Amino acid sequence: MTALFWRDLLVLKHKLQTKQMLVVGVAFILAIMLNTQLTLVAMIFIPFMLSFSLMTFPFSADTHDSFTVYLLRNGRSVRQLVLARYLFEGAMIGAGTGLGWLGISLKFKRFDWRLLAGLLGLSLVYLVVMVPLCYWFGINGGSMVVFLILLGMIFIRQQPTLIRQAWQQVQRHPGLSGLMIVLGYTLVGTVSAWMACRGFKHRYLF
Amino acid sequence: MSQPLVMTTELTKAWPTLAFGPVSLTIASGEIVALIGENGAGKTTLLNLLTGVVQPQHGQVSFATGHPTFGIVPDTCPFPEELTAREVGQLLATVYPQWHLTTYLKYLDQLRVAATQPLKTLSKGNRAKVVFATALAHDAELLIFDEMTAGLDPLVRQTILQLAQEYVQTHPAAMLMTTHILEDVTQVATRALIMAHGQIVWQQAGPMPSLAALRQQLLRAETEGD
């Protein structure tokens, strides 16, 4: 597990040193400084895309999959490798979400912790959906990001009342809602982890 | 024969295009076993069964030391190409409990590979040397070469095989290599096996036959099963 995590961090270090990342970083700082109509979009969009592009690289290159097989051949278990995957993806998406939230907070000069919790919740949905699917089908993580963003946008557009009602319920019964959310994530997370292990075996162990 | 290091008994695995086995094989410490045969004969399946990546339907794999440390050298570089050879060395310290960074760097130096260059800037031969150096730097008990010399120039191949041979002679270790290059077999192998249609159909230990005789034997094994 440590090996896979270190591999990801070492590759990440190199990814961060590329020119594209420099451009993205400069664009983010400029977006905050200029404070135009596009600032909000840039503040939310850039950190999310940054974290997505960084965290999805292990799925998109054959060399990385070869390292996974290399670890399997060296006695690592499927469970260890899948757990490492979740941890790394979780850390990356958590950092990206945090940056996105910071951008919004700076823009409106208001630090709303509930918004951060909501964004992290949405990120978790992405995590538990993406990891098993990527293992099952060997899908490029970037394609999954686009697909899920589109799906999310359609859902928000089609069901605004449902979302508003759910949000009102959360505000009315914060304790119960919190418990339900934790239980829901535990259930979905367990199913997701099980599917990820199955997907991993399907893809790498035949 | 020295102490058996690995033993397989009646291993079988059914693939859509290949009925593998039953294969029984014992490899002793100090041996260099060459596995030859046409593409799809089952050579890589045997390696995957040995390393536990594929589970057999019947039979079992047992090791004298419980689960040995493998020194695996696949035909392609398994490490992220953004990393330098030195960073690969740091990474593998988290994989192998007995990792010797200085030994690894010494091998890189001996093979004239720049440790500070990212792997993607190295030639195929130099990347192969990096993977090879990793296999010798963690007290591996069983070196496994999966067609790793394919595509390398003769000088690099010879150097790598000589170093591997020295390693096996000076450590409590053995080596199993799959290859299509018969010169490699006659150069270093102490035992040659021919696989055809998922089974070991011929083997010879001790002095290797001439290149022509080995080629003839391989041709016979492949045509007999058709």
Is the separation of the CB atoms in B143 and B173 below 8 Å? yes
Helices marked H in B64-181: 85-92, 101-110, 124-135, 154-170
Q: Could you give the domains of chain B?
A: 1-68+172-226 (3.40.50.300)
% of chain A at pLDDT higher than 70: 64
Instruction: Inspect the interface and report whether the beta carbons of B78 and A69 lie closer than 8 Å.
Output: yes
% of chain A at pLDDT higher than 90: 0
Please report the pLDDT score of residue B128 as a whole number: 92
Instruction: Inspect the interface and report whether the beta carbons of A74 and B96 lie closer than 8 Å.
Output: yes
CB atoms within 10 A of CB B226: 6
Strand-by-strand arrangement of the B58-63 sheet:
B19-28, B4-14, B58-63
Minimum distance, in Å, between the CA of residue A59 and any CA atom of chain B: 12
pLDDT in tens, A75-120: 888 887 788 777 777 777 777 778 777 877 777 788 888 778 877 7
The type of residue at A174 is P
Question: Is B70 at the interface with chain A, CB within 8 A?
Answer: yes
pLDDT in tens, B157-184: 999 999 999 999 999 999 999 999 999 9
pLDDT at B89 over 60: yes
Is the separation of the CB atoms in B70 and B131 below 8 Å? no
What is the ipTM score, two decimals?
A: 0.83
Compare CB distances from A206 to B54, B76, B87 and report the shortest one's residue: B54
Please report the pLDDT score of residue A148 as a whole number: 66
Phi/psi of residue B56, nearest 5 degrees: -75, 155
- Listed range (A4-8, A38-42, A103-107) with the worst mean pLDDT: A38-42
Residue of chain A minimizing CA distance to B140: A74
Domain total of chain A: 1
Please give the Cα distance from B39 to B43 (Å, whole number): 8
Instruction: Inspect the interface and report whether the beta carbons of A72 and B52 lie closer than 8 Å.
Output: yes
Give the structural domain span for A108.
2-205
pLDDT at A47 over 60: no
Question: Is B80 at the interface with chain A, CB within 8 A?
Answer: yes
Nearest CA among A85, A75, A190, A79 for reference residue A141: A85
Please give the Cα distance from A85 to A66 (Å, whole number): 15
Alpha-carbon separation of residue B19 from A91, A135, B12, B50, B69 (angstroms): 44, 27, 8, 17, 28
Please give the Cα distance from B146 to A40 (Å, whole number): 53
Residues of B in contact with A63 (CB under 8 A): 77-81
pLDDT at B137 over 80: yes
Instruction: Inspect the interface and report whether the beta carbons of B82 and A11 lie closer than 8 Å.
Output: yes
Top mean-pLDDT range of A122-126, A194-198, B90-94: B90-94
The type of residue at B36 is I
pLDDT at A66 over 80: no
The CA dihedral of B145, B149, B154, B160, to the nearest 10 degrees, is: -30
Please report the pLDDT score of residue A63 as a whole number: 41
Please give the Cα distance from B169 to B166 (Å, whole number): 5
> Which residues are CB-neighbours of A178 under 8 A, at least 6 positions away?
none
Please report the pLDDT score of residue B150 as a whole number: 81
More confident residue, A170 or A43: A170
